[in-house]
Structure 1
Amino acid sequence: MIGRLARFALTAVGSAAALTAAVGLVTTAEGLLAWERLNPTRMGSVLPRSGRFGTEAGEAIRLGVLGDSLAVGYGAEEPDMTPGALLATWLSEVSGRPVELTNMAVIGAESTALISQLAHLREVTQPDVVVIIIGANDVMHLKRLVDALWPLSETVRDLRRTHAQAVVATCPDLGTVRPFSQPLRFFAHWYSRVLATGQAIVVLRAGGRTVSLADTLGPLFHRDPDDMFSPRDHLHPSSIGYEQAAAVILPSVLAAAGIEREDARTPHRIYRKDVRHPLAWWAFRASRRVGERLTAASSTVTPAAGARSL
């Protein structure tokens, strides 16, 4: 009897391992095929939009943008329809002040690129508010969760040490990307949501603000992909998609810039309260490891040096 149970258990374990391996191989193969179809470098390079916005007089608000192709606005039909340009335009209109936009985002950037992007930003300006849009490439490249979180955490902490405000648009729901087939689409949805939750945890701990693109825009991109995604690659947002994204980020940018709103006080975290994430435990564990790593690093180097060496 014991021998039969042992054989049954071994068979079950072997079958489960084979199934897991098969699903992993299929998912990896689909990921490689999707990456070949969606590789943004095939459509040429795009420079991020920077410059002065608004004709108002007075001291300019210095707005910085860091991140990946979504922060660049890759896929928008016009440079003025990219997220940075839209936010700078609206911020100038609401505040009655000019806005100096400096966008250091790079197409294809992962979270580790934030450290160098912030260093380059400070070579140009000392920002008042910095908007960060990052995470999609960490999911696409299957980066470890902790490795995707620590650069973001350190970047926000570094900004807050110099009294700059940080607004982070967390990883969008990549499960809405139609060129992804199953099971890749499910994995993209699962991992992007876990990463977004982890990002929210570490950013709030570091003193920044977060906006959940998955919660606020995921249903819209899922429901209306033809309008929301760029017809060029069906991966990056269209001009309409970027306008929707900038609109949900704007209230947090206004609050970070110290602009009072008559309607309501903007919370530090923007998300749909009826959403429950059963996998938030993974994100919480990863954020704990990020805290331990930063604490260990800060005990051996000065804050300024640590920001550049990580």
Structure 2
Amino acid sequence: MRPLRFVAIGDSLTEGVGDPVGEAWRGWAALLAAGLAPKDAPVEFTNLAVSGAQSRDVLERQTPAGLALLPDVVSVVIGVNDTLRCTFDIHAVAARLDQVYAAFTAQGAVLLTACLPDPGAMLGLPGALGHPLARRQRAVNTVVHALSERYGAVHLHAAQGAWLTDRALWSADRLHPGERGHRQLAVRFHALLTQAGLATGPAPAAEPEFPVPTRSASLWWLATAGTGWVARRCTDLLPQLLTLAADEVRHRARGTSARLDLTASRAVASALAALSVAERPDAA
């Protein structure tokens, strides 16, 4: 029997950061893989996700490798790292995601996507610093929503909900789920796939397999690794973010903050309009 092939591409979220097993990361995609088919049916799972990856990395590196594996199911969860770079361009992000989604669905793979939380809110940044990042993440999520519908993806709404404020679901760095949070993502994806008749195996367990890290262990990880992880991804953004924050303050003082939202919305609309308007691959 040919095994069901599941390929996961993306960044640290899909790599499994926050859900350590031994010396490696596991994560939601690995947990989901075990429930895609009955226990007596083989599943080949390949995780190509890399911490720090942006949409360019997914398009240029991970997608060719993923296509070569001829997956039956592929997850493409990406975008947060793009928002944390001074080079952020919603037109470029939209164009890259369009190419990635099109390539996998043209091969007949079931596509899994998700909208993601605002990193500024997760980090607890103050309004003037947080609003620009929130605006960027909303732009990415809007693009992902639109393209997921275009390509018939199984789409998980993960940008909102009580799970974002439940500290028991998140690791010490506030950006990555802990084991319980990764299991939450796996359970929710499995439910969507089961509803669509695409997952026939047992649902992943919602309860953690391993003890929750102690507070001291979490703080040690944050001090020795987590803070560095965040810093490496935000260093080039900081000067620009300060400029954006100053602009935010000026508009707030003038009562014209709505103009910033309107400009961002127009950029998203323009990015989507620039993409191919071809019918979804399954439309005939």
Q: Structure 2 length normalisation: TM-score?
A: 0.66
Shift of 1:126: 0.6
Q: 2:16 touches 2:25 (CA, 8 Å); kept in 1? A: no
Write the distance in 2 (CA, Å) between the matches of 1:140 and 1:82. 22
Question: Counterparts of 2:108 and 2:76 in 1: how far apart (Å)?
Answer: 16
Question: How big is each residue's C-alpha offset from its partner over 1:216-238, in whole Å with a ceiling of 9 and x where there is no partner?
Answer: xx43222x22x22212x232211
Summarize the Cα distance change of 1:163–1:283 in structure 2 as closer, same or farther, 3 Å threshold: farther
In structure 2, what is the equivalent of residue 286 of structure 1?
Answer: 268
- Which residue of the partner structure matches residue 85 of structure 2? 141
Instruction: Determine if the alignment matches structure 1 residue 100 to structure 2 residue 41.
Output: no
TM-score of the superposition, structure 1-length normalised? 0.61
More helix by share: 1
**Residue 122 of structure 2: aligned partner:** 177
Which amino acid letter does the alignment assign opposite residue 188 of structure 2?
V
Would you say 1:74 and 2:17 are equivalent positions? Answer: yes
Percent identical: 25
Which residue of the partner structure matches residue 175 of structure 2? 235
The equivalent residue for 2:100 is 155
What's the offset of the Cα at 1:293?
4.5
CA distance in 2, matches of 1:80, 1:97: 24
Matched pairs, number: 215
- In structure 2, the CA distance between the partners of 1:147 and 1:242, relative to structure 1 (3 Å rule), is same
AA aligned to 2:67 is R
| Matching residue of 1:219 | 162
Give the AA of the match of 2:93.
Answer: A
165 and 59 in structure 1: CA distance in 2 versus 1, 3 angstrom threshold: same
The residue identity in structure 2 corresponding to 1:76 is D
Is residue 203 of structure 1 aligned with residue 143 of structure 2? no
SS class of match (1:91): coil
Give the Å deviation of 1:133.
Answer: 1.1
Shift of 1:64: 0.7
Q: Which has the larger radius of gyration?
A: 1
Give structure 1 stretches of 5+ with no counterpart.
1-57, 262-278, 299-310
Structure 1 residue 251, shift from structure 2 partner: 2.6
Where in structure 2 are there 5+ consecutive unaligned residues? 202-260, 279-284
User: How much does 1:71 deviate?
Assistant: 0.9
Alignment map for 1:236-251 (pairs within 5 Å): 236-251=176-191
Q: Distance in 2 between matches of 1:132 and 1:92?
A: 20
- Deviations along 1:232-256, whole A, 9 cap, x unmatched? x232211111111222222334466
1:131 aligned residue (71, 75, 94): 75
In 1, Cα distance between equivalents of 2:144 and 2:151: 11
Alignment partner for residue 193 of structure 1, among 138, 147, 154? 138
Aligned mates of 2:185, 2:132 — CA distance in 1:
23
The match for 1:91 among 36, 40, 49 is 36
| Cα separation, 1, equivalents of 2:43 and 2:91 | 35
